[in-house]
Amino acid sequence: MSSEQQSIPVNETVAAAIKRTHPAAWLWLSLVVIVLDQATKFLVTRFLALYERVEVLPVLDFTLLHNTGAAFSMLAGASGWQRWFFIGLACVVSVVLVVWIWRTPRGEKLLPLALSLILGGAIGNVIDRIWHGYVVDFIHAHWGEAYFPAFNIADSAITIGAALLILDAFREKGTGDGGQGTVERRRGARDRRQAPREGSP
């Protein structure tokens, strides 16, 4: 038996296993994000004083900051009500994400991957709000004197997840014809291969 003949059953087995896999299996990624997020925040809080700056790269610093607001410190100057608002919002969003992941069709990969990253990031930050009353930020990118708002591992996971979610939406839009466009292209290519060449008998 040739190697090509041996690879066919293996490929079919892998494809069948992917189709049987429930999207909720991706929730392990949310757990990884939460653990990494909380571990890095613990280390930064332990070894850096508030506002202390440690240069990592010419364009990247570690700076311990406490963010009582949302992304980009939105509502950070509010009187304190924003803490419970963001906790409640994050809890609602987390429940919605879990239900969304659970109801995603089997075999999907990109969508549950994106949702799991967002879920892990949301839970990572809400743990901070419940425990400290603020979110621990420490990754501070900059170019010269222009500084990007500080963020953390949870924020990074949310950003990557949102980008993948947009990518998945564009992918679904591109295949909105139910795959007919792909089928027609393949059929046309097959017809061209089977068409007799000029001058052939």
Q: Which residues are catalytic?
A: 137, 155
Q: What SS3 class is residue 64?
A: strand
Task: Name the token pair of 1.
Answer: 């038996």
Interacting residues of 83 by C-beta distance below 8 A, sequence separation 6+: 68, 129, 133, 134
Tell me, what DSSP letter sits at residue 197?
Answer: P
Q: Which residues contact 133 (CB under 8 A, 6 or more apart)?
A: 68, 83
Question: Looking at the chain, which runs of residues are DSSP E strands?
Answer: 53-57, 60-67, 135-143, 146-147
**Residues with Cβ < 8 Å from 27, sequence gap 6 or more?**
98, 101, 116, 119
